[in-house]
Copies of this chain bind each other. A is one copy, B any other.
């Protein structure tokens, strides 16, 4: 027997689908594009914004009107923060009570453990978003005024601050952030925004509690996320330097400062912001594969980023190490990781691999384009990254795809944003536990 009422996973999935539907309607009805675009491309663009992916089949700078750019920016902000989060925040602001059911859905949407302190947490999240995005906007504005002018710098500064904090990867520049590849200031500001957006609201909240002395120590979750995020950035940086070394078509054609900056930026951005300061299509195949792995791992839970998440990755890693050493406990920061978390992490990994393999196989079969470029695009969509080897004219590789494959990429962005397990739960639905207990199977592995 299946439950008939939609549970939290269904509600979150439906909220994204509804937001995309409204977005497509607005995109088609308002004067958003300079020339007419196909409904598929409108769906693709809106989904890419709502899921904060950043893959493009329409050039944001040259093909969108100002209305179009504002619509994309609004969808990024709503999608990044989460539709449920925003509506609940509005409800609270207008002093409406929210019930237990809404709290459960909100807790799923925000990835907050439990419902205790949820409303206070929500209010702070919205405040964090406002402060960080305002600061980022101001920092970029000051830097861009000399070259773009007092009025000209305003919208780009705002747009890129919001896009970076939400890990959206959309840029107003045709070549994304390639013009700024040697600009240390822009690199640092955007990287900081991406990093803060990617570690998750829970972690930001935890750091806030420590700084305001409301707690004495950081939670295990925060310690794990921070140490792993820093380790992955360093690992990715060193890895990319090795995979690009002496490969003179790409990053190695630049000077040393730009080589170091662009590999570091790419390491930060690949999990899962999706900005690029170099042409991804010019990188070596080993760099593309390394980036695919980084994209797959992704950002941290309860953030604007995607992927299987840093925590999932580390739980699997620690669990495997424990197993090989013959230990029954999996320990991190003197805490034992419970069995059900390990099981969930393994399920996430298995489902993610299966999903990516299947969609990749389909698109490979249909498009018959380069294998690695296709795999890169599928993982980029699934992990809501937005990096792409490119499809000409500043667009993503998807721009060369047939409608059917574009729809598969759209689906992958939604699955990636909702989360593969939540998506599966939303589709299949839980059954009531059978009371029959079966005898144990004896299997050899």
A residues adjacent to B (C-beta < 8 A): 111, 113, 200, 202, 219-221, 224, 242-243, 247, 284-286, 288-290, 293, 301-302, 309, 311-312, 315-317, 319-320, 323-329, 331-339, 341-351, 353-354, 357, 360-361, 364-365, 368, 370-372, 421, 424-425, 428-431, 433-434, 437-445
Contact = CB atoms under 8 A, between A and B. Distances in A.
Nearest to A312: B445
Contacts of A441: 220-221, 332-333, 335-338, 341
22 contacts: A111-B444, A113-B444, A284-B365, A284-B368, A285-B368, A290-B361, A293-B357, A301-B445, A316-B346, A319-B346, A319-B350, A324-B421, A325-B428, A325-B431, A331-B438, A333-B441, A336-B440, A337-B441, A341-B443, A344-B445, A349-B350, A353-B353
Contacts of A220: 441-443
B372 A320 contact: no
A116 to B, nearest CB: 13
B286 A439 contact: no
Given A247-B368, A293-B357, A338-B441, 19 more contacts: A221-B444, A243-B365, A284-B365, A284-B368, A289-B371, A293-B361, A309-B445, A317-B350, A324-B347, A324-B425, A325-B428, A329-B437, A336-B437, A336-B439, A336-B440, A341-B445, A346-B349, A349-B349, A371-B371
A106 to B, nearest CB: 14
Contacts of A219: 442
A39 B431 CA distance: 60
Given A289-B371, A360-B289, A445-B301, A438 B329 contact: yes
Contacts of A293: 357, 361
A64 B87 CA distance: 74
A374 to B, nearest CB: 8
A202 B327 contact: no
Contact of A325 (B284, B326, B430): B430
A444 B301 contact: yes
Which of A337, A346, A431, A433: most chain B Cβ within 10 A?
A346
Contact of A327 (B323, B343, B344, B433): B433
B361 A286 contact: yes
A445 B360 contact: no
A247 B341 CA distance: 45
A95 B162 CA distance: 79
Contacts of A429: 325
A44 to B, nearest CB: 23
A365 B311 CA distance: 28
